[in-house]
Structure 1
Amino acid sequence: MTPLRSALWLPLFDELCDPAAVARLAAEAEEAGWHGVFVWDHLRWRAPVRQAADPWITLAAIATATEHLRFGPMVTALARRRPTKVARETATLDRLGGGRLTLGVGLGSDRFAGELSATGEELDDRRRGRMLDESLEILTAAWSGRPVHHHGSHYTVDDITFLPRPVQRPGVPVWAAGLPGNVRPLRRAARHDGFVPVNLEHPDQLAGIVTTLTGLRGSRTTPYDIAVPLPPGSDPAPYAEAGATWWLAEFAPETVSVDQVRGVLRDGPVAFDTKGSGDGDG
């Protein structure tokens, strides 16, 4: 039986925009037995949210305040970040944490805060999807420690070697996010190490996703994670039975507070075992 791992999934807004406060919460979560702390990656959010922290600086604080739990951005919209800079950031952060980084990636959206249109980023979903896939190709090559020669439609990397490598081999685990019913994110996720289904409505949806991913992954037997966001107080057991390997305790971005997160983490992680679809921690 594989234990279902539990993580806090924190919007870095308002009371949680202080990296020192989030690092303290991460240390408390680790002491309480949680397996991970993941953070949102946004430039801003809609009202009443007024303040937002940088996820990478916050993750560095988490890395130094903890010893065992996994951490990472969940998720970062790679299409609005330079992949060469992310290659350096991820390798450095993984080394800082001793090999505990998980990179969550997705298309991003202009729906909730207009942050793509307000900064002149690409608005077409399909184009951002192609940029995301190309960025992941660059990251995979960079983490190998070999010279990167990439001349794509969106990015160029001409004979750069990215050293030092991440601690984890062959590289940092990648979890791709996507909406149920959309095949493109599933194909992307199947090429990597995990999937984060967004806006799941019931466990049967997840069971279908797991079946599709199993088919797409074919004969590969490497550990694979499926991380399901659910509000605190939800019963993750049906999702674990359907194949989830992680439960992400989600918080409403408009009302999240230090006290609320502390109350949830003190309740401890969920105690539930499942055969699951994979036993990896990424």
Structure 2
Amino acid sequence: MKFGLAIPNCHGDFSDIHLVAEVAHEAEEAGWDGFFLWDHIGDKWGDEVSDPWIMLAAIAMRTQRVNLGTMVTPMTRRRPWKLAREIATLDHLSNGRMILGAGSGGGIEYTNYHEPGDVKTYGERMDEALELLSSLWSGERISYEGQYYQIENVRHLPRPIQQPRIPIWIGGVWPNKKPMRRAARWDGVCPIGKGVGMTEQMTPGQVQACFDYIRSQQSPEQANNQDYARVQWGILDGKDHGYDAALVSAYAEVGVNWWIENLSWERGTLQELRSYIRQGPPQLA
């Protein structure tokens, strides 16, 4: 089991790039394995927003070991070729520690900015964008003619450090099946439960049903891949370490191999959460 933290890139001191980079350093020192940021540009979460990619660059310079990434990036709000360059550059800056959490996006972050498309096409556009990312990271010269994206005679170098590609984890709402079928084709899944609040989490039974469905969509080789990330978007107690260890073990039994602690202003300011982060993750037997 690996343990990560996910924090907003918005709202109050969560948008303070200096504080976030320092907290990421403290998280690494405390034994966490990953540090992830939300990817918002401005909506109901508040007006204080910092760009997650610039924040990740600052974090990469303050850490040496932890995996870094977004949880999750709305793919259809960004041009795939620009995103490919940004993430590949961060993979080099971090010496091969980047992970892309990807989702289809939507909501007032789209409509308020008059972004093109609608909920019926976001998934289709996302699928094209992911294929483009993977192809561009290959370092080969490519052309692509899709319904939503087209490029001609393009080569992206340098390749990312991680090959054959930077890991792509797909976010989606369970029990919706379409995002889980998408997740089955990539490198991991980070599901959230329908109707589950910011200080709640899916039960082990719900998680197992989600993972079982994903495995049913995979080849035996894919389903048995130990590197495939099965993420629990979790909530630890932070006070009773025995309880936390038992809780995580219950999720490990249903296949979770990455616990990502969901931190937000609903649980306090980032300054207030620093002592919790410094405790480090639970110690499992």
- Please give the TM-score of this superposition, normalised by the length of structure 1: 0.90
Contact 1:145–1:164, Cα closer than 8 Å, also in 2? yes
1:15 corresponds to which residue?
Answer: 13
Does residue 81 (structure 1) correspond to residue 82 (structure 2)? The answer is: no
Contact 2:13–2:271, Cα closer than 8 Å, also in 1? no
Which of 48, 65, 68 aligns to 1:68? It is 65
Matched residue type, 1:41: D
More displaced, 28-37 or 201-210? 201-210
Q: How far has the Cα of 1:232 moved from its partner?
A: 3.2
Contact 2:34–2:68, Cα closer than 8 Å, also in 1? yes
1:239 corresponds to which residue?
Answer: 251
**C-alpha separation in 2, matches of 1:260 and 1:97:** 28
Which of 23, 33, 36 aligns to 1:35? It is 33
Which of 91, 96, 99 aligns to 1:94? It is 91
2:198 corresponds to which residue?
Answer: none
Matched residue type, 1:145: G
Does residue 249 (structure 1) correspond to residue 261 (structure 2)? The answer is: yes
Contact 1:78–1:106, Cα closer than 8 Å, also in 2? yes
1:266 corresponds to which residue?
Answer: 278
Structure number with the bigger relative contact order (C-alpha 8 A, sep ≥ 6) is 1
Contact 2:7–2:264, Cα closer than 8 Å, also in 1? no
Q: How far has the Cα of 1:125 moved from its partner?
A: 2.1
Report percent identity of matched pairs: 37
Q: How far has the Cα of 1:54 moved from its partner?
A: 0.5
1:217 corresponds to which residue?
Answer: 218
2:231 corresponds to which residue?
Answer: 227
Q: How far has the Cα of 1:172 moved from its partner?
A: 0.5
Q: How far has the Cα of 1:126 moved from its partner?
A: 2.6
1:192 corresponds to which residue?
Answer: 186
**C-alpha separation in 2, matches of 1:7 and 1:261:** 14
Give the match's secondary structure for 1:72: strand
Matched residue type, 1:162: H
Give the match's secondary structure for 1:136: helix
Give the match's secondary structure for 1:115: helix
Contact 1:232–1:264, Cα closer than 8 Å, also in 2? no
Q: How far has the Cα of 1:61 moved from its partner?
A: 0.7
Which of 166, 169, 177 aligns to 2:163? It is 169
Corresponding pairs, count:
266
Q: How far has the Cα of 1:149 moved from its partner?
A: 0.9
Contact 1:122–1:128, Cα closer than 8 Å, also in 2? no
Contact 2:28–2:65, Cα closer than 8 Å, also in 1? yes
Give unmatched runs, 5+ long, in structure 2.
194-200, 238-243
Contact 1:75–1:104, Cα closer than 8 Å, also in 2? yes
Q: How far has the Cα of 1:246 moved from its partner?
A: 1.0
